[in-house]
Structure formats: structure tokens, C-alpha cells
Amino acid sequence: MNQTEKNKENKTKKNKNKENKNKIKNLSNSSDFLKNSYTIYVCGVGGQGIIKTSTILAEAGMKEGHNVVTSEIHGMSQRGGVVSTEVKIGDYKSSIIENNNANMILSFEPIETIRGLDKGNKNTKLIFNTTPLIPPNINSQEKDYPKVDTVTNILKRNYPNSYPIDGNKLAIESGNILSLNMVLLGATIASDGFPLSRETVIEVMKENLNEKFHEMNLKAINLGYNAMQKQKKA
């Protein structure tokens, strides 16, 4: 493109800008806004596959025609620090879930569930892995890692929709501890009120992960799905 053409193009753009100048965007009303929305707070420890899981959930939402935004905090993710992401399906602009507003807390580690509770409320679905990851510096801290049974019982007592999942065991059963996130993904799609279909989520999983592992991942998703189904019946 030569300079005259470029200037011409810029001019048309400018005029377009001017046309829009006085246009006022209407805000949608509150009930429309909240209809069809679903928010998931995903938390755990760096290296557990949290970011991948939330991306799969979000892309599945997009595939089913929803607007989706997610937020993730990188940086310390590979060094054993706390990692969390927020998945928001619906007409949100903000990628941060308001306190007390998460429809689901999906936790990859028992005590990280507790740290995430500010995001939830009594009706929030709590799906959490029961295998602990003890912080490596625990001996130089004054606080001990609490007993997992105690954590599970307190959560069950306080949150009627608590679903503890022995994710590590099921992941190993599916062939590799690394498929822990797939087990929890399976449990998520089996939970009541989850707005996306199992088929879409599996399709997106396949688009996102190496074909070599599809079979194992599917097995892990199914194990998580069934574990959740069993809990709902119990």
C-alpha cells in the first residue's frame, strides 16, 4: 500500500470514528445479565494442571455459544505456590469472581479448598481432591498441616454440596498421576447444574491435549464422572 492509499484509508477510518462519536452503548439490565451465567473458582498448587483445566472448561463454554472470560495468575506456577484461576461463563466483562458468588469451587488440594471459601456461599458446589500436598517448608512454619479427614468433615458439615474426590487414586488408576486434572474435570461435568455438556468438554479436551494421551484422559474423565455420580446418589 502506498502512502496516499494509506492516508485515504486513515481518513475513512477517522470518519468512521466520528460517526461513532455520539453513539451511546446501552447497558443490559441486571436480570438478563445474570441469566445463563456460571462461575467456577479453580484452585490448587502449581504444577497440578489447573490452568489447562480452566481453559478447557472455558473453551467448552465458548463452543456452546456463551461468552467466557477467565483470569489466571502465572509466575510462581511451577514453584509449588498457590495457583488459582477464575472461569466466568456469561456476559461478564470482569474476569474476577466476586466474593460469595462462585457457583462452584473446584479444588485440586484439600486445604486450598479452605483458602478459596471466600469466593463461595452455602449453595456453592465444592468439588475437592482429598490427597494433600504438604508444603515443603512445613517444618519451619508454626502451623501444621491439618488432618484431611477433619478438613473433609468440616466442609461436609458446613457446605451441603461438598464432594470429596480421591483424585490422585483415580488418576493413578487411569494410568498416570498427571491425569489428576482430567479426573476432576470429569467430576465437574457430572455435577448438578453444570451448564455444559459432557460431549463438548471431551471434544475440547481432545483439541487441547496430545492425541497420545486421549485414551488415558478419557478414562480419567470417566472415573471422575462416575465417582461424582456415586456421591450424588449417596
Partner 1 sequence: MNLKKLITGESGEKLFLLGNEAAVRGIIESNVSIASTYPGTPSSEIGNILYLLAKESGIYFEFSINEKVAMEVAASSSISGLRSFTFMKHVGLNVAADSFVSTGYVGTNGGMVILVADDPSIFSSQNEQDTRHYSRLANIPTLEPSNPQEVKDMIKYGYELSEEFKIPIIIRCTTRVSHMRGVVELGKYQKEKITDKSSKNSNSHWKKGYFEKNPEKYVIVPNIARELHEKLVSKIESIEEEANESNLNEIYSINENKPKLGIISSSSAFNYCHDVIVEDNLEIDILKLGFTYPFPKNKVLSFIKDLDGVFIGEEVDPIMEKEVLAIIGESKLDIKVYGKTNNIFPKTLELSPDIVRESLNKIIKEKTKNKEIQNQLSGEILDLMDKLPNRPPTLCSGCGHRSAYFAVKKATEELGIADENVIFASDIGCYTLGVSPPYETADYLLSMGSSIGDGHGFSKATNQTVVSFIGDSTFFHSGIPPLINGIHNKSNFVVTILDNRITAMTGGQPNPGLEVDGMGDEAPAISIENLVIGCGCKHVKTVNPINLKKTIESYKEAFNHDDLSVIIAKHPCTLIKGQKKKRKMKIKKDKCNNCFDCVNLLACPSISIRNDEAIIDETCVGCTTCSQMCPNKAIGVKKE
The single residue among 59, 128, 180, 225 that binds partner 1, judged by CB under 8 A, is 59
Alpha-carbon separation of residue 193 from 107, 188, 189 (angstroms): 18, 10, 9
Strand, coil or helix: 69:
strand
Residue 172 engages partner 1 in binding (rule: CB under 8 A):
no
Provide Rg for the chain, Cα atoms.
Answer: 21
Largest CA distance in the chain: 74
- ∠ CA 181-184-114, nearest 5°, is 100
Indicate the residue among 79 and 233 with the shorter CB distance to partner 1.
79
Distance CA 45, CA 112 (A): 8
Task: Give the one residue of 58, 127, 183, 228 binding partner 1; rule: CB under 8 A.
Answer: 58
Rounded CA gap, 3 and 91, in Å? 41
Q: Judged by CB under 8 A, which stretch of 68-76, 185-193, 195-203, 218-226 contacts partner 1?
A: 68-76
Q: Is 157 a binder of partner 1 (CB under 8 A)?
A: yes
Q: How far apart are CA 114 and CA 121, in angstroms?
A: 12
Q: Could you tell me the smallest distance in angstroms from the CB atom of residue 15 to partner 1?
A: 10
Contact status, residue 162 vs residue 113, Cβ threshold 8 Å: no
By CB under 8 A, the residues from 18 to 37 that bind partner 1 are: 18, 20-21, 23-30, 33-34
Shorter beta-carbon distance to partner 1: residue 84 or 222: 84
Q: For partner 1, which is the closer residue by CB, 63 or 229?
A: 63
Q: How many residues bind partner 1 (CB under 8 A)?
A: 78
**CA dihedral (112, 117, 119, 122) positive or negative:** positive
Judged by CB under 8 A, the chain residues 89 through 128 that form the site for partner 1 are 92-96, 98-101, 111-112, 114-115, 117-118, 120-123
Task: Return the number of the residue (158 or 230) whose C-beta is nearest partner 1.
Answer: 158
- Minimum CB distance to partner 1 smaller for 33 or for 230: 33
* 178-217 residues near partner 1, rule: CB under 8 A: 207-208
List 73, 199, 214, 230, residue binding partner 1 (CB under 8 A): 73
Instruction: Assign 129 to helix, strand or coil.
Output: strand
The cell for 106 is 473446584
Half-sphere exposure of 20 (CA within 13 A, CB side): 7
Return the number of the residue (126 or 165) whose C-beta is nearest partner 1.
Answer: 126
Provide, rounded to whole angstroms, the least separation between the CB of residue 234 and partner 1.
23
